[in-house]
Amino acid sequence: MSDNTTSHKASVYDEQIDQTIPVYELFHDQIINLVRTYNYSPSTWLDAGCGTGTLVTKALGQFKDTSFILADPSVNMLSIAKTKLHGNDRVKFTGSGSLELDLPSESIDVLTAVMSHHYFDTVDRRKATKNCFRMIKRGGIFITFENIRPDSEMGTQIGLERWKRFQLSHGKSEDAVRIHLERFNSEFFPITLGEHLNLLHEAGFKVFEILWVSYMQAGFYAIKF
């Protein structure tokens, strides 16, 4: 049984995630590239659902004047992140997810949420997104990557088959792949690209765009004015 909302135990998450999510390592690269393009030197960056801290571990070296807050409701995930980043005085931790975080309004320049909001139902996803909007400064940016659902049933079946083939080709067993894909719409709840954009608009963002699409995952960014 996992000790967090993902299908991997925290202790092996970093070793196994690339078997499950296609080109997962590129998500972080795309995020860092976007932040460098939009705001080269943010003051404060919140990574909500930080997992084992890989994104911030990568970002620290490129954003020398940025303070980071890592938030995750999983004690085990956060423990690994603390070990990775031990001793860095630009990093703080909190054991909350984006739904519960109560940081001051308009206090964050960059807020990232990678593969975390798709575990919420419709109501909580909306609340979490609005809470992220609340915490972001005017001119700040929100970046999220999530599992997605195609617009049609046929598209969904094709997407799931491609995802299955990817996982099998990267060493997962038939049983492991079956168990993971059975979580689709039962343990994580993907929405379409259009629904994601509508959600960002409803939360109050004036600029919202698709950043990345690959297999059954997509990245989005939104700017607060």
Q: Report the alpha-carbon distance of residue 69 to residue 48 in Å, rounded.
A: 8
Q: What is the pLDDT of residues 125-183, one digit of tens each?
A: 999 999 999 999 999 999 999 999 999 999 999 999 999 999 999 999 999 999 999 99
According to the model, what pLDDT value does residue 67 have? 98
3 is a domain residue = no
Count of domains for the chain: 1
SS (H, E, C) the chain: CCCCCCCCCHHHHHHHHHHHCCCHHHHHHHHHHHHHHHCCCCCEEEEECCCCCHHHHHHHCCCCCCEEEEECCCHHHHHHHHHHCCCCCCEEEECCCCCCCCCCCCCEEEEEEECCHHHCCHHHHHHHHHHHHHHEEEEEEEEEEEEECCCCHHHHHHHHHHHHHHHHHCCCCHHHHHHHHCCECCCECCECHHHHHHHHHHHCCCEEEEEEEECCEEEEEEECC
The percentage of the chain sitting over the pLDDT mark of 90, rounded to a whole number, equals: 90
- Does residue 159 lie within any of the structural domains? yes
Give a yes or no: residue 1 inside a domain: no
Domain assignment present for 2: no
Residues of the chain with pLDDT under 50: 1
Residue 35 lies in a domain: yes
CB 32 within 8 A of CB 59: yes
Token pair listed for 214: 């690959």
First CA to last CA across the chain, in angstroms? 43
Provide Rg for the chain, Cα atoms: 17
Asked if the structure places residue 5 within a domain, the reply is no
Domain that holds residue 133: 10-223
Would 190 be classed as within a structural domain? yes
Rounded Cα distance between 145 and 222, Å, is: 12
Q: Is 118 a member of any domain?
A: yes
Residue 143 has phi, psi (to 5 degrees) of -130, 125
- Position 11 scores a pLDDT of 77
Q: How far is residue 95's CA from residue 102's CA, in Å, rounded to a whole number?
A: 11
Output the domain CATH number for residue 120. 3.40.50.150
pLDDT of residue 1: 46
The arrangement of strands across the sheet holding 136-147 comes to 91-94, 67-71, 44-48, 108-114, 136-147, 217-223, 207-214
